[in-house]
Structure 1
Amino acid sequence: MVPNNFRRLRGVAIAAAVVASLALSSCAAASGDVSSGPQAEVAPGFLAKAGGDAENPGKLTVQLDYDTAEVQGLDPQPAEAARSWMIMGLVYETLVTVDENFEIQPELATAWSQPDPTTYVFTLDTDAKFSNGRALTPADVVGSINRLLKTPSIWTGQLGPVESVEETAPNEVTVRLASPHAPFLAALANTPAAILPMAEIEDGSVDVTKEMLGTGPFVVEEHKQDTKWLFTSNTNWRGGDNFDVKELELQIVKQETTRQASLREGSAGLTNFVSVDSLTQMQGAAGVSVVNQLQSDYYYVLLNSQRPGSPLEQQDVRFAINAAIDRQAIADIVFAGTTSPTGVTPSTLPGACDPTGLPSATTDVSKAKSVIEAAELGSEPLKMLVYTDEPVLTQIAQLIQQQLAEIGVTTEIEQYDGATYNNRVFTTKPGNFDLAIGWFAGYVDTSSVTQWWNPSISRFSDGFAGSHDDLNELIAAGAAAQEPSERAEIFTRLCATADEYSEMVPLVHRPSIIGFNSGSVDPTIQSNEGYGDLLRNITDYRLTGK
């Protein structure tokens, strides 16, 4: 997936801040019960876990900070935003899914086998039906995967070198790859790989850019962009009717304080928050729980090596800047210790590299200062871009600005709306910036996000990052390797190599704050999430009816 800000930006007013205010804010947050590490689990892999059978079927109201943002409409295959994945995933299903441990589990495929490293044989669920009552067929699976392979989508590359997709028996589909691709199943577990109603698409009775017809637990009754979604339960869902949420309303409420008030008064049963301050601001509210869900998503700073005449063309200058950035300070000051540093491979995933062992983390800052002094950057400050849709980006930028000043690098923070930011960073070639801060989705397989460090694969980074043969070879090796210890060794070298080039520099994980009112709902919330789905396991929710 491209940086999530590429498609999911929304207007949020930004408050002016200075580094001093960051310190005061984080100290206030730290004075509460916010821990510096993962929160206590109620069960292994879960921050909240519903219990008992369905007893109170009814309506759940969820408030979200923004809506889907796809120019292709409701088609899940080209969807690039995690919010779209979550919302569309209420209607669509994939062949496989992932559990709380990021392990692959059945969904539309009841089982699968891998007779050799490049062949996958899927047995389809014979009970699966689309919400119009038509049974799922192998043709739907074959057609959906082939359609995705032909779609100009960022998710196409995640599937790897697919060579063929064919029906090989009744209710069986076989996929053959040209070479081994370890994250193949993980790629099939995300909404862009959803199985579509191909018969209806081909006969023109369904336009998936304008309506959704899937095999999942919900159907869409109403959608008003940037206002709300209304879903009702799919009576044809093979999972049965033993779930409470028969009606789901997603309200788009941009103001965080409004979402807090709705949660307190019970007009919203569940909501998300962007600011970690919500962890303490909501403490003491009757019947309200707020949890900090770990995510593989992480913030980054881009250093543009592709602008002719820029001092950032020099690798040693970029690396000096990289080495001066204190990731742990960002985690502690900006996020009150509720997150942690990461390398290229998300540190929340199994087999990821150790961010404390990166070359930049083990380089003395005095050496970085010497490099900057020798480079004679001049008096012109480096432009550091952020987008105003997520205020914490400016807070990160202010702290980095202070850190870079200590080695003699002067920066000027420029704030832009999402469209302008995207144009200057991702569309213009070369990118019209020096430094830029945003965030990546981290996914659920350690090698998936590494693809973006190869500009020929990413399709968005060639305007600010070079193509490096040694790094590209490690990226390919990480995707091909199957054995865990071999993969971990490759990722250690991959993270170090990318760190030395210092063009796309990971910082810290992006927290996901979720609040719920126990008077409305008893939810199931995983401790860790890779595809941005805060409503994962919604059919396990129990409405309390209090």
Structure 2
Amino acid sequence: MPWGLVPGPFGLYLPNNAGTFLQPDRGRHESAHSRRSLMKKRAFLALTAVAAVGLTACGAPADPTGGGGSAEEVEPGYLAVADPDFAAGGELTVQVDYDVDEVGGLDPQAASAARGWMVEGLVYETLTTIDENLEVQPGLAASWEQPSDTEYVFQLDTDATFSNGRDMTVDDVAGSLQRLVDTPTTWTGQLGPISSVEATGDEEVTVTLAEPYTPFLAALANTPAAVLPMQEIDAGDIDVATEMLGTGPLVVAEHRQDEYWTFEPNEHHQAADELGFSGLRLEVVSDESTRVAALRDGSADLAMLNSVDSADALADASDVAVVNQQNTDFHYLIMNSIAGDEALQDEDVRFAINTAIDRDAINELVLGGTSQSTGVTPATLPDACVAEDLPSAQAAVEDAKAVIDDLGGLELNLVVYDSEAVLSDIAQVIQQNLAEIGVTVSIESYDYATYSSLVYADPSDFDLALSWFSGYADPSMVTTWWNPSLAGFTSVYNVGSDETSALIADAAQTPAGAERADLFSDLCASVDEESETVPLVLRPTEIGYRTDGLSPTLFADEGYGNVLRAITEYRAAE
């Protein structure tokens, strides 16, 4: 992973300076699960009482009895399947909460946020893709072989055509990957240790890795690894930072940053004749209540929602369906063991704080029961560790309290950014949890620029912080961020360890299956015991759509934040 990148809101990464890291002391903690369960129950009841009077000025968290959109699958792996008989041909209007990152322009290789991956994925396509089960499937690569554990030979889709009418060639494919290697971005590191990329036939490209890397095919499935029009780029005929030219189903007609996009069908795409809509208008609407209103009055066919409260508010809208798409993304808590309160340099103190956090309460009170606890490997992916088996889940809260009592109590600040209200809600649950063990937490909410200057600057200036990571489609991918020497951005607030870094590397080289699952179990336990950046719960997406205006296909699970992944199947009423 390239150095000099820090996580921003929405899973994106921004420039920063990386630092060095030291080695921490290690320790284990074991205690009775039954005593922890009793303490958690008491804490949960107390939190429920707090929720009844409202936890946040932005609105109370979800009813602890449950809420949010339906997660019921209409077919295995699908929340909705487009009806081929649905009257179609109208313009499709979609509302989202934020636009693509302006820093990297429109170059898909520079796309560092989930929204950029989704929007630019309407125009560009990748060698592989993921299906409703988060399994890798052919994309622009019609097939591939793996002669060895470091060699991949791709046979290309000979029908793929750029929107200017030019056929895709092996030079476009090989050149795109080589460009990503030669000009490192966030995604370069996720592709693994690429040694060479060669066009080895008229329809064949061979990629050789320096060492085995299990997530390679999954990493190829995201938009930053898209195939670019290298002939036009090399000739200087196009600047992909300002203009998009891809093989995907749509082409951009107009874009106003942070306002809207309009798209037209790519007449050269293989699905052009079957598209069930005449065009797409993608509106950027930051206010959630406005998106909810648009679903009610029909001015939006589909909208992304961040709160289960919004789903509940639409429960009486007869022509609106709200579904809950599970993501591999997850929320996490940072404990600043480098520049935070001196007590946080002690692993026992950090582990005590980790032990006191009630993930079930976060899920029920904030997310309406739509999420689940997770370790460093996203809980819904194959081979992932079981969060309930982690050391902190087995430890006793009273033992955690004893650690804090030995300090005479502890006062910490917890910083969040205000563009996602759910972070403040999670912070207030954590605040209540930690009060149970004698830690007084003051919550500080900032705009993202200020938050970033506190969390990612060198030196950093905070005790605790909340954010979230994209979880991707292979559990090894996100674990990279727990090695400060690879991630870079974490080195200003976390020490890391040789043990965790070695487990990350070993798991990435190990094929999927029981051996890798065992490594992930050890990795999750190591991260949990160190308690520097602590995974909390998965981050689901609420999606609302008008049943009288749209028949969409929606996956039940998503790894790259691409709600519109199956857009070629959408049917919009005239």
Query: Shift in Å at residue 255 of structure 1?
Result: 1.5
**Residues paired across the two proteins, number:** 532
| CA 1:490–1:398: 2 relative to 1, 3 Å | same
Conserved? CA contact 1:77–1:151, under 8 Å: no
1:391 corresponding residue in structure 2: 421
2:525 corresponding residue in structure 1: 496
Percent identity over the alignment is 52
Secondary structure in 2 matching 1:155: helix
| CA 1:7–1:115: 2 relative to 1, 3 Å | closer
Moved more, 47-56 or 107-116: 47-56
Distance in 1 (alpha carbons) for counterparts of 2:340 and 2:267: 60
1:165 equivalent to 2:197? Answer: yes
Superposition map of 1:138-537 within 5 A: 138-307=170-339, 310-376=342-408, 381-426=411-456, 428-537=457-566
Query: Shift in Å at residue 314 of structure 1?
Result: 0.9
Query: Shift in Å at residue 371 of structure 1?
Result: 1.1
Query: Shift in Å at residue 337 of structure 1?
Result: 1.1
| CA 1:6–1:42: 2 relative to 1, 3 Å | closer
Query: Shift in Å at residue 8 of structure 1?
Result: 5.6
| CA 1:5–1:103: 2 relative to 1, 3 Å | same
Distance in 1 (alpha carbons) for counterparts of 2:154 and 2:361: 47
Secondary structure in 2 matching 1:329: helix
1:89 corresponding residue in structure 2: 121
| CA 1:138–1:210: 2 relative to 1, 3 Å | same
| Runs of 4+ more than 6 Å apart | none
Conserved? CA contact 1:138–1:170, under 8 Å: yes
Distance in 2 (alpha carbons) for counterparts of 1:158 and 1:43: 32
Conserved? CA contact 2:414–2:462, under 8 Å: yes
Distance in 1 (alpha carbons) for counterparts of 2:334 and 2:340: 16
Conserved? CA contact 2:417–2:445, under 8 Å: yes
When normalised by structure 2's length, the TM-score is 0.89
**Structure 2 residue ranges without an equivalent (≥5):** 14-49
1:30 corresponding residue in structure 2: 65
Q: RMSD value over aligned CA atoms?
A: 2.0
2:25 corresponding residue in structure 1: none
1:5 equivalent to 2:35? Answer: no
| CA 1:69–1:25: 2 relative to 1, 3 Å | same
Q: Residues 464-500 of structure 1, C-alpha deviation per residue, up to 9 Å, x if partnerless? A: 1113111011001111000411111110000000001
Q: Residues 199-219 of structure 1, C-alpha deviation per residue, up to 9 Å, x if partnerless? A: 111111100110100000000
| CA 1:27–1:467: 2 relative to 1, 3 Å | closer
Query: Shift in Å at residue 7 of structure 1?
Result: 6.7
Distance in 1 (alpha carbons) for counterparts of 2:478 and 2:526: 15
| CA 1:55–1:123: 2 relative to 1, 3 Å | farther
Query: Shift in Å at residue 276 of structure 1?
Result: 0.7
Q: Residues 137-181 of structure 1, C-alpha deviation per residue, up to 9 Å, x if partnerless? A: 111111111111122311111111110000111110000001110
Amino acid at match of 1:5: P
Conserved? CA contact 2:64–2:364, under 8 Å: no
Distance in 2 (alpha carbons) for counterparts of 1:436 and 1:308: 11
Distance in 2 (alpha carbons) for counterparts of 1:239 and 1:354: 41
| CA 1:291–1:203: 2 relative to 1, 3 Å | same
Conserved? CA contact 2:412–2:440, under 8 Å: yes
Distance in 1 (alpha carbons) for counterparts of 2:378 and 2:512: 18
Secondary structure in 2 matching 1:180: coil
When normalised by structure 1's length, the TM-score is 0.94
Q: Residues 321-363 of structure 1, C-alpha deviation per residue, up to 9 Å, x if partnerless? A: 1111111111111112111111100001121100001001111
Amino acid at match of 1:475: I
Secondary structure in 2 matching 1:461: helix
Conserved? CA contact 1:129–1:215, under 8 Å: yes
Secondary structure in 2 matching 1:508: strand
Distance in 2 (alpha carbons) for counterparts of 1:394 and 1:213: 40
Query: Shift in Å at residue 510 of structure 1?
Result: 1.0
Moved more, 256-265 or 520-529: 256-265
Distance in 2 (alpha carbons) for counterparts of 1:254 and 1:455: 33
Query: Shift in Å at residue 408 of structure 1?
Result: 1.1
Query: Shift in Å at residue 377 of structure 1?
Result: 5.3
| CA 1:201–1:363: 2 relative to 1, 3 Å | same
